[in-house]
Amino acid sequence: MTRIADLLAAGRTFSFEFGPPRTDDAARRLDKTLVELEPLKPSFVSVTYGAGGSTRETTREIVEHIHRDTTMTPMPHLTCVGHTHQQVVDIVTGYRDAGLENLLALGGDPLVDAPDAPSDFRYATELIELARGVGDFSIGVAAFPELHPKSTDRAVDRQHLATKLRAADFGITQFFFRAEPYFRMLDELADLGVDTPVIPGVFAFVNIEVARRFSATNGATIPSHIDERMSAVDGKPSEVRKLAVELATDLIQELLDGGAPGIHLYTLNFSTATREIYANLGLTPSGLV
């Protein structure tokens, strides 16, 4: 059983996210991380997609490597930006023919040096419709507990999210630092009649500057007491990781206690923090508490 919708129907999922490396050293680190995290037997793993599809080929190569050479179930990200209809058909058909069963459909970010690059798609729901016409995929979408960073109206934001989730099989959130926005989002979706499972994403950061930049970009609020603790360890890598692991462990426990259907860990292609979080939570390699 490798369809994520089926995995969620059977119980909680524990999953990881990886990104395409951009250098030879980064590629070696990702290979090492895959080897070190495979024994944890994640329910699935996702592979990100660069802005405007800039890592399209690398994403495909990593996804097919994971599918072919490991026991892990990969889920490629697929974005609207910078793609023609035929390009997306070709990408999705390739994944189908390779035996993949899961996709994450995203709006995506434009390329910094080509923000107005033409695209035949605007919304993730268009990708979902196309993918369902190509193969029998289990399809996820992104959710933002603290609203999409481009959103200016909470009610409209939740209506858009509800529409996406009705078309999809599951959602995965952007990271956040407090559990309350996630549970509030679920309540708001329930009020709209949506009960599609939404897996919370948790960020085990490895660098304070990067954590703050990602948070600002994605609309994730860093509470003042956490920001103060970040400042206190900034520039001390081992203490940064220790803090990140502590915060992630506490947040995950709160999410699990509150009934979250799973946990998706943003690894940044490192394994140590993820393995330490697993140990702290007493998770077995099969992901069961």
Q: How many domains does the chain have?
A: 1
> Which of 17-21, 170-174, 243-247 is predicted least confidently?
17-21
Query: 17, 101, 188, 276: which one is catalytic?
Result: 17
Domain that holds residue 260: 4-281
Residue 287 maps to a domain: no
Residue 286 counted as domain residue: no
Dist CA 24 CA 26 (whole Å): 5
Query: How many angstroms separate the Cα of 223 from the Cα of each of 202, 231, 235, 259?
Result: 15, 12, 20, 23
Q: What pLDDT does residue 117 have?
A: 59
CA distances from 196 to 64, 252, 261 (A): 28, 20, 10
The number of residues in the chain equals 289
Q: What is the CATH number of the domain that holds 153?
A: 3.20.20.220
Give domain status of residue 161, yes or no: yes
The C-alpha angle 178, 283, 251, rounded to 5 degrees, equals: 5
- Each residue of 244-277: b (16+ CB within 10 Å) or e? bbebbbebbebbbeeebbbbbbbbbbbbebbebb
Residue environment code for 42-61, b if the CB has 16+ CB neighbours within 10 A, otherwise e: bbbbbbbbbbbbbbbebbbe
Task: Note whether residue 288 is domain-resident.
Answer: no
Using the predicted structure, report yes or no on whether residue 102 has a pLDDT greater than 90.
yes
103-117 tens-digit pLDDT: 999 876 655 445 565
Indicate if 17 belongs to the active site.
yes
Q: Would you say residue 115 lies in a domain?
A: yes
12: in domain: yes
Beta bridge pairs of residue 43:
none
CA distance linking residue 136 with residue 146, whole number of Å: 31
Residue 188 is encoded by which pair of tokens? 């708001």
Give the range among 68-72, 149-153, 176-180, 270-274 with minimum mean pLDDT. Answer: 149-153
- Quote the pTM value: 0.93
